[in-house]
Amino acid sequence: MPTKTFSFEFFPPQTPEGIERLRATRRQLAQLKPTFFSVTFGAGGSTRDRTIGTILEICAEGQQAAPHLSCIASSKTVAREMLERYHASGVKRVVALRGDLPSGLVDPGEFRYANELVAFIRGEFGDAFHIEVAAYPEYHPQARTAQDDLANFKRKVEAGADSAITQYFYNADAYFAFVDECQAQGIDIPIVPGIMPINKFSQLARFSDSCGAEIPRWIRRKLEGFGDDTASIRSFGLDVVTQLCDQLIRGGAPGLHFYTLNQAGPASVIWQRLGLS
């Protein structure tokens, strides 16, 4: 049986305190021996230097680092320079994304969709990088139809993606149905579920609405009912998300990717409850 991939995602911090906090988070999560740590990239290049800086720190700590690269509003020259720098620093995995056009910007740049970035990386760097792409079990909010979105996902795989990480979801059936559909279409790369621990309801609800991730009614109603009681939200959230992860792993998911929001606590607790360490 192939080894499962376990990974943790961070955003690049803005302040010296945030940088220190993330270092402490990484020290804690490194003990779990994940496959890699990934670092997000603000579309339009807004976090460019901070993403590169965080990635280089992770490499220097002896961990596998996977930078996200979102291509909208970017040029081939800029993408090539970043990839060359990563390659020279020993990075072996990248997460290739389109990103969303920052508000106010209208020029999409030289890449329109992630499949074009994947093809560019393969064309320029051969097999130097393991390329991850995004997948959407509940479908991307801008997709015209579910079928279109699947066809577009297939385009990324045909362009050379090695594996995929999903948008988060709380309904395991959506993931398994998506994987079945992919297999029926001849897509056989590993599709690793993205896991979002639940910490704050209002933030999660806002974000879920914008990225098209459904919070099932029973979870939403329970979370709403807890009001400002953060301890109950966290405790319920840990139960729900641990159960989801357990269902996914038992059902054959090829790993888990945690959206940590730079916190070690929730992912570590879920990890321990799953008996992964």
Residues near ligand FAD (CB under 6 A) are 40-41, 43, 68, 70, 95, 97-100, 113-115, 134, 140, 142-143, 148-149, 152, 155-156, 165, 167, 194
Burial zone of 199 (CB within 10 Å; 0-12 exposed, 13-18 middle, 19+ buried) = middle
Nearest CA to 253 out of 173, 147, 153 is that of: 173
In angstroms, the CA 227 to CA 221 distance is: 10
To which residue do tokens 């945030």 refer? 18
Task: Report the amino acid identity of residue 27.
Answer: R
To the nearest whole angstrom, how small is the minimum distance from the Cβ of residue 229 to ligand FAD?
A: 30
We find the least distance from the C-beta atom of residue 272 to ligand FAD, in angstroms, to be: 24
How near is the Cβ of 46 to ligand FAD at its closest, in Å?
9
Does 9 qualify as catalytic in the annotation? yes
Catalytic residue among 9, 116, 132, 138: 9
Query: Least Å distance between CB 102 and ligand FAD?
Result: 9
Q: Which two tokens stand for residue 161?
A: 């993606």
**Which C-beta is closer to ligand FAD: that of 174 or that of 233?**
174
For ligand FAD, give the closer residue by CB, 113 or 125.
113
* Cα gap 194→151, rounded to integer Å: 21
Residue 58's contacts (CB-CB under 8 Å, 6 or more residues apart) are: 26, 37, 39, 64, 65
Active-site residue set = 9
